[in-house]
Structure 1
Amino acid sequence: MAERVFEDRRDAGRVLARLLEHYRGRPDVVVLGLPRGGVPVAYEIAVSLGAPLDVFVVRKLGLPGHEELAMGAIAGGGVVVLNEDVVRRAGVSPETLREVAAGERRELVRRERAYREGGAPLDLMGRTVVVVDDGLATGATMRAAVAALRRHEPAGIVVAVPTAPEPAVGELRESADQVVCASTPPLFSAVGFSYRDFAQTTDEEVRDLLRAAAARRVGA
């Protein structure tokens, strides 16, 4: 798909919602946002589709000294996905991997507790899960999410992202049932270049959007 620049994450969510129109009104559909940045995108999709919204926490394993580069990712249930090329090229030792993973696992647990505010996660068994992030770079985080979600036995997993390089989209098509991407820049360098406003999403914004989504469904 042609390159596109979004105003912000909410704008990107509305664009994706139009591409997911065929899921609107289906009672089996749930929308999961990857915190933090994926949640504003997912909120717009959930509102448009009339579907419940939840978070699915996945943590990138940043390369020590170059934390923006993912050497892998972890998700709930002990799922670990590694970027073997990055690990091999950087000469990362098993001990370093374990240390980084342990730190990110603690943050994963903290975020799950903070975002849900004591609430239980949605039951995903037999549901069609639309899992959303604000973009992909290597795709490691989303691959970890898909691997972890398979353990919940959903009927299907749809990955929805506003922007990603074509190779990352291709890799995800091997594990997800469908991948919907609104923009695949030919010279992809970073997710943020696909946005005019790419300000960091805060924990409080995530909680506010989850509360707002739940209130809309109660009032529907």
Structure 2
Amino acid sequence: MGALFTSRTEAGELLARRLRFAVSPVVLALPRGGVPVAAPVARRLRGTLDVLVTRKIGYPPSPELGVGAIAEGGEPVFDEGLLARLGLTPEAVADVVARERRELARRVQVYRGGRPLPALTGREVIVVDDGLATGGTARAALRAVAAADPERVTLAVPVGAPETVRALRGEADELVVLATPPDFFAVGQWYAHFDQLSDADVLSYLGPS
């Protein structure tokens, strides 16, 4: 199967058409890739667009392998099964967690000038990313949002691995996923254009802080 979307922006426009909200929601994008997806969603729903910064917690010998994730305002969320298979405990990756907390704080400063997230208590919140592979960062984000006591939380993504979508259903009030292809390998395979984004790209979507 070929690409499903030309770009993240096109995917966001298609996603926005599937979402129905009676009141203006808070739309939280997971940077960097979730921001161009979330921008059309916030525009169509007349919502408040912001970012919820997340960081993957990598396996020290192979940092690309995520053993957990952390989102601002939340605690680390680990893949307990993977940790067990690797013979690790959360304490064993404490240095990685500390490093990712520092990078998370740096990005909050860059993206929002250090200002806090919008108030989420009693609000409808949509968490948006460009896709779900393992779902680690999305899970950490949803738990951080849930801790703020919102009225309702929706996770909205253009594409996701079927098993990941199933695993995340209990983490949000609603999941909106446009496609769950069975031959899912990576998020980028479903986009014709999937460029790496910079901090400057993120700021261009967010506008003046």
Shift in CA distance, 211/188, structure 1 to aligned 2, threshold 3 Å: same
The alignment-based identity, stated in percent, is 46
Shift in CA distance, 93/126, structure 1 to aligned 2, threshold 3 Å: closer
Q: 2:26, 2:48 within 8 Å by CA — same for their partners in 1?
A: yes
The match for 1:45 is 41
C-alpha distance in 1 between matches for 2:114 and 2:70:
22
Q: How many residues align?
A: 209
Map 1:1-220 onto structure 2 (within 5 A). 5-20=4-19, 22-23=20-21, 26-27=23-24, 29-211=25-207
C-alpha distance in 1 between matches for 2:103 and 2:97:
10
- Runs of 4+ deviating beyond 6 Å: none
C-alpha distance in 2 between matches for 1:148 and 1:122:
13
Moved more, 66-75 or 196-205: 66-75
C-alpha distance in 2 between matches for 1:91 and 1:75:
24
The match for 1:218 is none
What amino acid does structure 1 have at the position aligned with 2:202?
A: V
Q: Deviation string for 1:151-182 (max 9, x for gaps)?
A: 11100100001111111111211110000011
C-alpha distance in 2 between matches for 1:211 and 1:159:
23
C-alpha displacement at 1:95, in angstroms? Answer: 4.3
Moved more, 182-191 or 119-128: 119-128
Structure 2 length-normalised TM: 0.93
Structure 1 length-normalised TM: 0.89
Q: Deviation string for 1:88-116 (max 9, x for gaps)?
A: 22223544311111111100100011101
> Gaps (5+ residues) in structure 2?
none
Q: 1:3, 1:185 within 8 Å by CA — same for their partners in 2?
A: no
Q: Deviation string for 1:108-166 (max 9, x for gaps)?
A: 10001110124442111111000001111111111111111111110010000111111
Aligned-CA RMSD value:
1.8
> Gaps (5+ residues) in structure 1?
215-220
